[in-house]
Amino acid sequence: MNDFLPISKKDMHRRGIDQLDFICVTGDSYVDHPTFGTAIISRVMEAEGFSVGIIAQPGWKNPNDMMRLGAPKYAFFVNSGNIDSMVAHYTVAKRKRSDDAYTAGGKSGRRPDRALTVYCRLIRQAYPDTPIVIGGLEASLRRFAHYDYWDDSVYPSILLDTGADLLSYGMGEKQTAQIVHRLAGGEPVSALTDIRGTCYLTDPVNTPWGGVQCPSLDMVRADKKAYAKAARIQMEEQDEIRGRTVIQRHGDKMLVQNPPMPALNTEELDRVYELPYMRTYHPVYEAEGGVPAIKEVEFSITHNRGCFGACNFCSIAFHQGRKITVRSEESVLREAKSFLSNPNFKGYISDVGGPTANFRRSSCEHQKKYGLCKGRKCLAPEPCPQLVADHSDYLHLLRSLRAVKGVKKVFIRSGIRYDYMLKDPDDTFFKELVRYHISGQLRVAPEHCSNTVLDQMGKPHIETYRRFQKMYEEETKRLGKEQYLVPYLISSHPGSTLSDAIALAKFLKESHIHPDQVQDFYPTPGTVSTCIYYTGINPITGENVYVPKTPEEKAMQRALLQYYKPENREMVRKALIIAGRRDLIGSGPECLIPDERKKASSDKPAARKGKSSWQNAKGKHPRKG
């Protein structure tokens, strides 16, 4: 019978375990579902024949919670949760968030800032000699010296701050399997320096030959050009075929990143996603109402990994990689059929996706042998001539899922690359997407309308979105459906001037789009856009880029995207005046906001007889300004 992994001594004794082989520590509540990294890694260890326990959201005032399961026989594996702990805690305005979807009851404050560092230091206090392996998003994106937005400074590799022995970056199943077997085989953790997909610190004299060196910690702290150079080197070497060892000096130590681990093949990916997950949160959280994050994903299916779209603001390329790997249709169908026995399943599969839902094949034949191209994108600003756009396999998968008895609807809620869809000469997938797989709204990500900004984002130009928008609206109308296209938009991205933000506001008005939510650009570690934000230099092209940084300008750019809200009018007015666009204030069809001063004047009562009046007969001020 399937069960959750041990979270207490009582659980261990019930399983007949005196000492666990490995313990996983996480900043999230314990959810045993394959969309949670802790669940995957712990189940992989278990499948390799080891006993594994979970310490979820330990207290951080003292090391007591790190000792609740005793010392593991071989090592601790530590992550901060599904997302960076600082992103989990703070908005882009650096205000504390009031909730946390990855915590029971949605409560905030159950994990510390910079959780990975805090947890590792506590483990060292409790068990000084026990090896520590760190992984997950927070570790992966902070593996080199990196800009920290919250402290507005350059931090060293997180290996240095945490004091961990080894860092596993990217999708860690293969690394984990090698690490646990070698530790169990008696090798010291200091000897594990040859595992792909890992980083470690060593004395410079022990630096391996054949690597590429990027500017040191001291250099990237002192010189933004050096930072941009380092970022470019690090990005260029994240390919499993052509990627080389990357080294970066940190004082008297050398950080070594081994080449990326090859992605799981289809058979391996099937095996990972068919491990015996409980697919829900641990019952210990029931009294708090469960863990909110499970609601959207409980009956979702991941069918692929990787994204060759490689948007500059996205961390996927640096963490998960650009190579596409997929599960077999048979495996996906088995997962879907397993839902039928769950009393909570009502017949609706919420998503069949991944980083990009409609990627189910390699971008081209060339990359299979030589790797993905260095310094080039597959889709932006125009699709590469070598790109092969083909949805036939994904379409067959969706049709098979729709045919499963007991499944009422199959939705796609992961991101769709509409530019890739437009490249496909066969529009059958597009038509079936609109007919069968949209739950009222299709969310897509044009992000902006200014091609100058889109170039800094690594996104296709806006004309591509306009083409797709027209197709979508026409097909929706033809089917007689009430479905909407909801665009994701980013304000204040590097490259965006106030004029660009005004152009976006005009685009939204012309397109009759009133976005309920607007996302300010969030400079998180490990992305090209964050490098641009910090340095003012695009590390790929070397060009200087304008960066909106002041709170006032960022507030104006954000307000412009929601110009229609009365509470934003004063901020929009200020932006328009600064940009020299008073022509967009008034009652004309292109105007973004009304002229409140004229309205106020017209609302005043007429002057009494015999008194002078500053109003003309029509109730308007006789002069401008």
pLDDT band at 599 (very low <50, low <70, confident <90, very high): low
Residue 51 lies in a domain: yes
Share of the chain above pLDDT 90, in %: 92
* Mean pLDDT (the chain, rounded): 94
Residue 385 lies in a domain: no
The tens digit of pLDDT for each residue in 123-174 reads 999 999 999 999 999 999 999 999 999 999 999 999 999 999 999 999 999 9
Asked whether the bond before 381 is cis by omega within 30 degrees of 0, the reply is yes
CA angle centred on 391, ends 389 and 393, rounded to 5°: 125
DSSP string, 199-260: EEEE-GGGPPTT-EE---HHHHHH-HHHHHHHHHHHHHT--TTT---EEEEETTEEEEEPPP
Tokens for 292? 């909110």
Tell the residue number behind the tokens 């006789």, with chain if given.
622
DSSP string, 350-418: -EEESSSTT--S-S-SHHHHH-SPTT--SSSSS--TT-----HHHHHHHHHHHTSTT--EE---S---H
Residue 82 lies in a domain: yes
Count up the domains in the chain and report the number: 1
Query: What gap in Å lies between CA 324 and CA 417, rounded to an integer?
Result: 14
**Beta strands per DSSP E along 390-529:** 409-410, 441-447, 484-491, 519-520
Residue 163 lies in a domain: yes
- pLDDT value at position 507? 96
Q: Burial letters for 226-235: b for 16+ Cβ neighbours within 10 Å, e otherwise? A: bbbbbbbbbb
Residue 105 lies in a domain: yes
- pLDDT value at position 600? 53
The tens digit of pLDDT for each residue in 13-64 reads 999 999 999 999 999 999 999 999 999 999 999 999 999 999 999 999 999 9
Structural domain containing residue 87: 9-192
Supply the CATH number for residue 154's domain.
3.40.50.2300
Residue 135 lies in a domain: yes
Q: How many residues belong to the chain?
A: 625
Residue 125 lies in a domain: yes
Q: What average pLDDT does the segment 313-329 reach?
A: 94
Query: What gap in Å lies between CA 348 and CA 526, rounded to an integer?
Result: 36
The tens digit of pLDDT for each residue in 558-575 reads 999 999 999 999 999 999
> What is the identity of the amino acid at 624?
K
Tokens for 558? 């954000």
- pLDDT value at position 136? 97
The tens digit of pLDDT for each residue in 239-258 reads 999 999 999 999 999 999 99
Tell the residue number behind the tokens 């326990």, with chain if given.
53
pLDDT band at 176 (very low <50, low <70, confident <90, very high): very high
Q: Burial letters for 270-282: b for 16+ Cβ neighbours within 10 Å, e otherwise? A: bbbbebebbbbbb
- pLDDT value at position 623? 32
The tens digit of pLDDT for each residue in 489-516 reads 999 999 999 999 999 999 999 999 998 8
- pLDDT value at position 605? 52
Is residue 603 predicted with pLDDT exceeding 80?
no
Residue 386 lies in a domain: no
Q: What average pLDDT does the segment 100-113 reach?
A: 96
- pLDDT value at position 2? 78
Is residue 604 predicted with pLDDT exceeding 80?
no
Q: What average pLDDT does the segment 309-320 reach?
A: 93
Q: What average pLDDT does the segment 411-437 reach?
A: 96
Q: How far is CA 227 from CA 170, 221, 414, 524, 527, in A?
A: 22, 7, 33, 15, 13
The tens digit of pLDDT for each residue in 343-385 reads 999 999 999 999 999 999 999 999 999 999 998 999 999 999 9
The tens digit of pLDDT for each residue in 277-304 reads 999 999 999 999 999 999 999 999 999 9
Q: Burial letters for 24-37: b for 16+ Cβ neighbours within 10 Å, e otherwise? A: bbbbbbbbbbbbbb
pLDDT band at 586 (very low <50, low <70, confident <90, very high): very high
The tens digit of pLDDT for each residue in 462-485 reads 999 999 999 999 999 999 999 999
